[in-house]
Copies of this chain bind each other. A is one copy, B any other.
Amino acid sequence: MSSYKPIGLFDSGVGGLTVVKEMFRQLPQENLVYVGDNARCPYGNRPPEQVRQFTFQIMDFLMQQDVKMIIIACNTATAAALTQASQHYPIPVLGVITPGSRAAISATRTGRIGVIGTEVTVQTGAYAREIHRINPRLQVISQACGPFVQLVEDNDLDSPQAEQIVEQYLAPLKEEMMDVLILGCTHYPILSKLIQKVAGKDVQLISSAEETAREASLLLADRNLLNDNNLSPVHKFYTTGDQQHFTEVAEKWLQQPIALQHLTLP
């Protein structure tokens, strides 16, 4: 079969590297191609039509790399383009919203699920829609946490200022008695220690990165596409933006050197 083909992943920038790290951990035999569209980051405040256009440009490039599956490792692009992309491309396309939703449904005991994400992700209501499609009786409480992405991009993960921002944004959620909190942005797992500290130990954090890698594993197995050879896997990284900044963030987060190339999109 075509199981030796790579899996394609992309994000507006470095956030999708949280999914890559989970792919390394949960599917260590898979070859990967990652695209970070840092030159046009962030996507979160762009019109959905433009996010779809960017998404299709990147997916066309990934198809040229002969990938067997594409993971949209970005909540905004998932919300804006997953449905059309799934219909347009002849390979499996996986977003990050349904895996996090399903994990939250499985984890909650109180039936009250919190979601934090960018403003666009919260405004589209994509998590609530996905959760209610499966179980309409659950309650979903959403909170936009705009500044969290910048904290991650600035690598400001545990300063008093960072803690103050996280406390300020999570305060409304803490009165909601939820027992599960979805990190609805691929940047947020990098900030998860601080989020857990502020949310309290009784709240279970759901990382869309971790859950997406897990569902990718199931879908590959279901289609008989798991890479079962024992050769060292090849991981290729592309950025549309500054290569030095991308390399620094990626190597720190992934804890290994990466092979990075520049990519120019139309």
Residues of chain A touching chain B, judged by Cβ–Cβ distance below 8 Å, are: 22, 26-29, 98, 102-103, 105-106, 133-137, 210-211, 213-215, 217-219, 221-222, 226, 228, 230
Contact = CB atoms under 8 A, between A and B. Distances in A.
Contacts of A217: 102, 105, 134
Nearest to A222: B219
A99 to B, nearest CB: 8
A214 B26 contact: no
Contacts of A98: 218, 221
Interface secondary structure of A, over-half rule: helix
A218 B211 CA distance: 12
A135 B215 contact: no
A181 B214 CA distance: 18
Given A134-B226, A226-B133, A226-B134, A210 B106 contact: yes
B102 A135 contact: no
B230 A135 contact: no
6 contacts: A22-B106, A28-B137, A102-B218, A106-B214, A134-B221, A215-B218
Contacts of A222: 219, 222
A221 B215 CA distance: 12
Given A106-B26, A106-B210, A210-B106, A136 B218 contact: no
**A136, A211, A221, A230 — which one has the most chain B CB atoms within 10 A of its CB?**
A221
B102 A214 contact: yes
Contact of A103 (B22, B136, B214, B219): B214
A255 to B, nearest CB: 14
A203 to B, nearest CB: 16
Contacts of A28: 135, 137
A151 to B, nearest CB: 24
A217 B27 CA distance: 21
Contacts of A211: 106
A98 B135 CA distance: 24
